[in-house]
Structures are given as structure tokens and as C-alpha cells.
Structure 1
Amino acid sequence: MSTDLYPPLSLKIITPKLALHGATDELLAQLLPIVRDGVGAQPPYPFDDPMSLYEDNPIRERKWLQSIWRGRGNVRPDFWRLYFVVMLGEQAVGMQDLIGVDFDTCQTVTSFSWLAPSARQQGLGREMRAAILHLAFEGFGAAEAASEAFFDNLPSNRVSESMGYQPNGSNWATRRGEPAVLNRWRLKRDDWELSRRSDIELIGMNGVKDVLHIK
């Protein structure tokens, strides 16, 4: 898809450690070998159902791409999803998504991410979250960000806690067909402001808010 026809594909978020690039098909192709090898194949399983990344290869790759293509086209005032490829220099190592949930009325977002196994335990998860929160609060004027993680997904829960999110109850979900408890987290704009960063840059914002029906 042309970046002229869909401005979010031109969007970039730059931090001192990494960059989030709008997920063009060319960048998604760079992630295919990682998806092929598996990013959530070992317990504790991080994703709730339904999840294409749990499918058997090569079905996994096809369903993963199709879900992203569908998401690009499913843009409404009350729901949208932006997909970003995480770049370390010229290397694609994962994805970071931002989802608008009732954004037209409540200005609320949530996020989703994954990293290649080789890129984990380097502090990148926190940096990715900081980048996407900067887009949500600074770029789009969000009022609140939410996050969810299974109770045994310690890295994700630690990222949320370290960035000022507050516990917001729990819920049940299934992963690979088995029930488990999801921890819910909530970050209000005022709390984000307390630790907002000045070293994160937004590039290519022209036209993005119009596409997402953000005034």
C-alpha cells in the first residue's frame, strides 16, 4: 500500500535506542523469518486467543500478514489500530501496535507488542512502550492508556509498573485454549506527564490524525 494513500505508513517514532516505523509490507517481509521461527512458542504463553502467532508454520505467517492487512482497513472513529515495526538501526526485531478504543469519545488507547527472542532482555520492551505512549499522549492527545498481560508474563507486567501504570483489576482469557488470569493496567495522562521524555521524536504526522478521525 502506498504511504501517500495511507499516511500512517510514513509515521516514525525515534528514540535514542530504537525507532518505530509504520509497518509497510517491505518491513513486514523483514519480520517474516522471525515469525516463521516463532515468537510465542514456549510457555508461559504471552498472547491471548485468537492469535495467529500460535498457528503452525506456514499458516502462522499467512494469518499474521492477513490480520495486519485487515487492521489497516478497519478504521473507524471508535476503533483503529496502528502497526509499527521495531527497528534497531537497519534491523527489524519486532512489532509495537497502538489501538484506539472508543477514542472518539473517551480518548483511550491500549498497546500490543512482541520482540524476537534474540532481542529480549535488553530493555527494549520499555523503550518501545515509551515510544508508543509518546505518540498516544503527545501526538494524539490521549487521556488514558491501558495494558494487559497474563499474570506470569513478568517482563510485560514489570514494564507497565515501571512506567507508572496502576493496577486496574484482572480478567480471564484463554491462551492456546487454556484459561489464565490477565492483569490489567491503567496509565492516566497526568501520571504520564510526570515522567514524559524530551528525547522522543515524532516524524510524519501529516495526515495521520485525519485518517484516524482524530480532531
Structure 2
Amino acid sequence: MPTNARTPSSYPPLNVQVHTPRLSLLGATDELLEQLVPVVRKGVVTEPPWPFDDPMSLYKDSPDREWSWLRGIWAGRAKVSDSFWRLYFVVVVDGKPVGMQDLIGINFSRLGTVETFSWLSPETRGLGLGKEMRQAVLHLAFDGLGARQADSASFVDNHASNRVSQAVGYLPNGTDWDTRRGEAAEIQRWKLTRERWLKLRRGDIELVGVADCLPVLGIQSPPDR
């Protein structure tokens, strides 16, 4: 799907785009979500080690998996305030949606911190796209929204996610516990400060539609770069 063929939405978060040489993050419109439904129906993860904490619609059986996944995104898009927001992006490679990358702000107006969540279709893993999409969403967070810090967490045996965090510059930030499929499991926490990101930032990532999105998220003015 060509990125320039999108019809602008009346809701600014759906118009936000992040482009790198390898992929694009496009605001998750219903049209793009429909294109991802076959991927979700086929299954994003089917065997351990389970990467997602509870509750997680992607563990459910089809078709409840697809229905719950869509309902979760629709509900998340509607729950936006100064204390919480979540931006949903569809990852597009060569015109084909292959996964999702989310950016989450909790008390962002006061704290300036963000978290990320992502997944890729099984056949596109191991190609470096996980690192590329994380760098893309971090560019949006720090350069577009003026974040102070990005946090991340993965189960200790989710080696792919932990490798991505290390590769893009996060530093270890302690451990914690959560549940997945009802079982307790240890989590590795990571953090990336703005100062560290500035030393690592890329110069080939393009942001589109961010200024119009700022008031929706309670960000009063564009960040100083």
C-alpha cells in the first residue's frame, strides 16, 4: 500500500507516519488493521517461550483472537488523556503490513517517559526489522514528542526483544516479575535516556503529521530539538 495513497483522517494520531529506508510506521487505521487480520488469524506466536504478558488477545483461539485484538486497539485509541495515551502503528515493508509498533505515554505531560510494545509476523523475524522499527518509534518519541526517557521490558528468555533493546542503546534497569498464560516469569527492564539517544540518533528517519497530533496528546508545544 503506497504511503502517499492514504486518505487523511480527521483524527490526527491516525495521520502520523514514521519512515526509515527499510520500513514505515503508519497510524493504525481500520483499513490497515484489516490488512493485518490474516496475520493475526494465522498466529503471531504459537509456542514457548511466550513473549507477551497477561492479558494478551494474541494467545486466544481464532476467531476470538482477531475480535479481541481489534477491540483492544479500538478501545486503546479512544482512551486518550494527559495521564495516558497509546499510539498504534502498523509496520509496513515494501507496501505490505507485517506487524505493529505501539508507543505508550503514562503521565507523559509530567514525566516525559514512554514505553513501547511491538510484534512482527513470524516470517519477517530475524531480518533486522525489529531493531529498525524500534529506532523509528524512538525517533518519534524523542525528536517528535520530546520524551525524556524510553522504557522497555521483556521476559528474560525473550532473547530477540532483549537483543533489540541492547542494540539500539538501552541500558539494563533491573528486573521484575509478571505472568504469561497464568505462570509467573521474570522480566528484564531497560531504559534509554534522551541524552544517550542523542548520541545514537539516526539522520535518515522522517516524521510526518506529528505537529497536529501534539494537542491530542496534551503536549502543548513542539519540543526543543
* TM-score of the two chains, using structure 2 as the length reference: 0.93
* Secondary structure of 1:207 counterpart: helix
1:129 matched to which residue of 2? 134
Query: Following superposition of structure 1 onto structure 2, how do residues 33-72 of structure 1 map, counting pairs within 5 Å?
Result: 33-72=38-77
Q: Contact conserved, 1:40 with 1:47, CA < 8 A, in 2?
A: no
> 1:13 Cα deviation (Å)?
0.2
2:148 matched to which residue of 1? 143
Q: Work out the CA distance in 1 between the residues paired with 2:210 and 2:110.
A: 22
2:189 matched to which residue of 1? 184
> Unmatched 5+ residue regions in structure 2?
1-6, 221-225
Q: Work out the CA distance in 2 between the residues paired with 1:187 and 1:3.
A: 33
User: Which one of the candidate residues 155, 162, 169 is aligned to 1:164?
Assistant: 169
Q: Work out the CA distance in 2 between the residues paired with 1:24 and 1:210.
A: 19
Query: Following superposition of structure 1 onto structure 2, how do residues 83-98 of structure 1 map, counting pairs within 5 Å?
Result: 83-98=88-103
Query: Following superposition of structure 1 onto structure 2, how do residues 100-139 of structure 1 map, counting pairs within 5 Å?
Result: 100-139=105-144
> How many residues are aligned here?
214
* Secondary structure of 2:10 counterpart: coil
Aligned residue identity for 2:44: V
> Unmatched 5+ residue regions in structure 1?
none
Q: Work out the CA distance in 2 between the residues paired with 1:101 and 1:162.
A: 25
Q: Which 4+ stretches in 1 moved above 2 angstroms?
A: 2-5
Deviations 1:3-58 (A, max 9, x none): 54311111110000100000000000010011001112211100000001111110
Deviations 1:139-176 (A, max 9, x none): 00000000000000001001111111111111111111
* Secondary structure of 1:75 counterpart: coil
User: Which one of the candidate residues 11, 14, 37 is aligned to 2:16?
Assistant: 11
Q: Contact conserved, 1:77 with 1:102, CA < 8 A, in 2?
A: yes
1:214 matched to which residue of 2? 219
Q: Work out the CA distance in 1 between the residues paired with 2:207 and 2:68.
A: 30
> 1:206 Cα deviation (Å)?
3.6
Q: Work out the CA distance in 2 between the residues paired with 1:171 and 1:3.
A: 41
Query: Percent same amino acid at aligned positions?
Result: 57
RMSD: 1.0
Aligned residue identity for 1:188: T
Say whether residues 1:173 and 2:178 are aligned partners. Answer: yes
* Secondary structure of 1:104 counterpart: helix
> 1:102 Cα deviation (Å)?
1.4
Aligned residue identity for 1:96: Q
